[in-house]
Amino acid sequence: MIRSLQILRAGPGLTIQDLGRPGWHAYGVSNGGAVDRMALYEGAALLGQTANCAALEMPTYGGDFLIEGDCRIALTGAPMVAQLDGVKLVWNASHKVTNGQRLSIGAATTGVYGYLSVSGGFQTPEWMGSRSAHLAANIGGLLSTGDRLPVGDDPNEGGMSVFLPERDRFSGGDIRVVTTLHTSLFSNAEVERFTQTNFQRSLRSNRQGAALTFDGLPFTPDAGQTILSEPMIMGDIQMTGDGYPFVLQSECQTAGGFARIAQVLPCDLSTVAQATPDRVLRFRFVTFEEADLAYQSYLTDLKNLRGQTRPLLRRVEDIRDLLSYQLISGAVTGWETDMPEDCK
């Protein structure tokens, strides 16, 4: 039987995402891929497969899905209310699902982007070496009700359900940044004010970038009108014409002429993407040496994720077919003749 996932009801903004398509920057196509890359690595570790397997990215809300064929799924990223045939599922964990079961994923309880990974990955068409939808470049598109997503072969068929300890990247907090070629265009006072300001992620944010709001005067570079259009990448913090910062994300433009006051470390980009408008973000400059150490530690953590998984134990109250289990194997009457005297 060909395995697939049918979308019975699509939440807003559903897309297929993997690690993106690096190497096309010169042609005007940014990397793209999942906004929260850590979530893809977590899903891969839970399912025992490579991190570039395509998954479903769900901003703020999931939807209803029909499982066609037995497979395993993993739920990562922003925790959402998830149920399988009415039974609540543990987030940041993998689960076995069978043909005909209905998966419902509701609203995020914290954070923004949730992810549904499947064993074998979604086998949607590839474009330029990636299955990721890149909405800004008109590659792929949003998923809708009625779509059927083919699923690949399980590389670890029969694997047990496991979970990962949750990493709190949904509460905002300090975001590490390094200087750019444009940082010196801002006065020392402006840079200092930037590091002392509390920012919130605006509802205007999308896969191209996180728009930030704050109290106070706009940030203005001393020589903002002299900047030529230059290459831009994920993590750049550009100051738009109105003086408000914009943290570039996976579908960012490849070139621009706005001043970039700083650049977010790759290991902190997920925290920016997952910040809801009620969370506070503060930027802290670190040296390039500190940034490199942080990034190497991040890469090591990604490699070690699979070793951090733990068996997922089912709660008795969640087992609907409990009576079908053999629960009395090895039971005794209590009157066996070979029992010790003090046990009779």
Q: How big is the CA angle at 16 (ends 76 and 254), to the nearest 5 degrees?
A: 105
d(CA 169, CA 178): 20
The rounded mean pLDDT for the chain is 90
Residue 92 binned pLDDT confidence (cut-offs 50, 70, 90): very high
**For position 332, what pLDDT does the model report?**
47
- Give residue-wise pLDDT tens across range 162-214: 999 988 899 999 999 999 999 999 999 999 999 999 999 999 899 999 999 99
pLDDT higher than 80, residue 331: no
pLDDT reading at 334 higher than 80: no
- Tell me how many helices (H) and strands (E) the chain has: 4, 22
What separation in angstroms does the CA of 227 have from each of 33, 55, 179, 230, 262? 29, 39, 16, 8, 15
The span from the CA of 10 to the CA of 247, in Å, is: 28
**Cβ atoms within 10 Å of 152's Cβ, excluding its own:** 16
**31: pLDDT strictly greater than 50:** yes
| Percent of the chain's residues with pLDDT above 70 | 90
CA–CA distance, 177 with 162 (Å, rounded to integer): 34
Q: To the nearest whole percent, how much of the chain has pLDDT over 90?
A: 78
Tens of pLDDT along 189-203?
A: 999 999 999 999 999
In this predicted structure, the answer to whether residue 337 has a pLDDT above a threshold of 80 is no
The model's pTM is 0.89
